[in-house]
Amino acid sequence: MSGTDFTGKVAIITGASSGIGRSYARALGASGAKLVLVARDAAPLDAVAGEFENAIAVAADVSQPASADRIVATAIQEYGTVDIVLSNAGVYLAGEFAQVDPVALQRIVSVNVFGALAVVRAALPVLLANRDGDVIVTSSVSGHQAIHWEPVYSATKHAVQAFVHGVRRQLVGTGVRIGEIAPGVVLNELWGFDELAETAPQLAAATGIRSEDVADAVLYMLSRPRHVNIRDLVILPTSQDI
C-alpha cells in the first residue's frame, strides 16, 4: 500500500519464509519497519531476511511451547521493543475427517491454534506496557463458515476467530488493537501454486488472489487512525463462489 510509513516500528511475522508471510515481510520492510521473521525452516527464512537491511531471522516451530518467548525475547534484545505482531504461521489439511491421520490432526491444531495464540500471548505484555501496538492474525474465510472439504482447517480458523473477538474486548481501553484477516484462495504454496510461476490465468479469471493482495490489505488495517480497529477483514477472489 503506497504511502504507508512504518519507519522504526518493530514487527514480528511468523510463517515468514513463504506465501502470505513473505509478502507481509516485503510490504512492511518496504515501509521502513524492522523485522523479526520467524519460520520453521532456516534456509528459506534466511533468504527472505537477506532481502532487508533491518531484519533478523528466528528459526522456530511455533507449535513448541518455548518458541514464543524466545521469539519475543530475540525481538527485545535486537530492537528493544515490539510494535506489530502478524501471527501468520499455519498449515493446511483437507479431506474426509474419518480418514484424517491423527498425527496430522495434532500438527494442524498445534500450529494453527496453539502457535497462533502463543506468539500473541508472549508479545502482549510488551504492547500493553507501551499502551500501543497491533496484532493481526491470519485466519481464513473458512473461519467465517464451515467448509465441508476442510473441516479440521475450518475448525482451527473458527478458533482463531473466537480468540480475536474475545481478546479484542479484553484490550478495550489499553491502546492495543487486534484483528484478523480472512483470505479465500491465495495463489501461493499453501494452495499448490509457485508464486514465481505463471498465475495469470487464475488472476484473469479472478479465481485466486496474490499474497501481495493480502499484505496490502494488512497494511491498510495497520495504517488506520488509532481510534479505528478493523476486527475482521475478509478478502476473496471476485469469482470465488463461497
Print burial letters for 134-173: b (CB count within 10 Å at least 16), e (below 16): bbbbbbbbbbbeebeebbbbbbbbbbbbebbeebbeebee
For residue 64, give the 3-state DSSP assignment: coil
Q: Is 83 helix (H, G, I), strand (E, B) or coil?
A: coil
Say how far apart CA 190 and CA 224 lie, in whole Å. Answer: 29
Q: Which amino acid appears at position 157 of this protein?
A: K
DSSP string covering 140-202, please? -GGGTS--TT-HHHHHHHHHHHHHHHHHHHHTTTSSEEEEEEEES-BSSGGGT--TTS--HHH
- Residues acting as catalytic residues: 153
Measured between alpha carbons, how far is 47 from 43 in angstroms, rounded to an integer? 6
Task: Give helix 151-170 / helix 102-109 axis angle, nearest 10°.
Answer: 20
